[in-house]
Structure 1
Amino acid sequence: MSDNTPNEDDLREEAKERMDEMPAETALGNADPAGGSDESPEDYEAEYGHEGGS
């Protein structure tokens, strides 16, 4: 592993922070009122773009 490769703990922490920022959604992709955010998943993607995937 090279020196500039993040370690697993750092990656887990960054992933947790990103998940906390994302709006909650139901299995159908609708905003989840119990999730604590009134932002819809579509609004989030419009503002932040779709990051991730392959």
Structure 2
Amino acid sequence: MSDVSGENREELETIAKERMAELPGETALGNRDPQAGGEGDPKDFEGNSEVPLPE
């Protein structure tokens, strides 16, 4: 595991929290769970690789 400075760590934690909030909630069978929050249908989720990460 790489060593992350305090400033970068905070930025990464913020990015992670934002990305987790966007993840569609799903049931054990992989269906959408509206009570879990998130956006969209889990079967349509392709990730968010366009999010830039700090160096």
Shorter chain as denominator, the TM-score bin is 0.5 to 0.7
Q: How many residues align?
A: 46
- 1:38 and 1:19 map into 2 onto residues whose CA distance is 10
Q: Partner of 2:12 in structure 1?
A: 11
Q: Partner of 1:26 in structure 2?
A: 27
User: Runs of 4 or more off by more than 3 Å in structure 1?
Assistant: none
RMSD: 3.0
> Could you list the runs of 5+ residues in structure 2 that have no partner in the other structure?
50-55
**Larger helix share, 1 or 2:** 1
Q: CA deviation at 1:21?
A: 1.1
TM-score (norm 1): 0.55
Q: CA deviation at 1:8?
A: 1.2
Q: Partner of 2:52 in structure 1?
A: none
Identity across matched positions, percent: 48
Structure 2 CA distance for partners of 1:38 and 1:17, relative to 1, 3 Å? closer
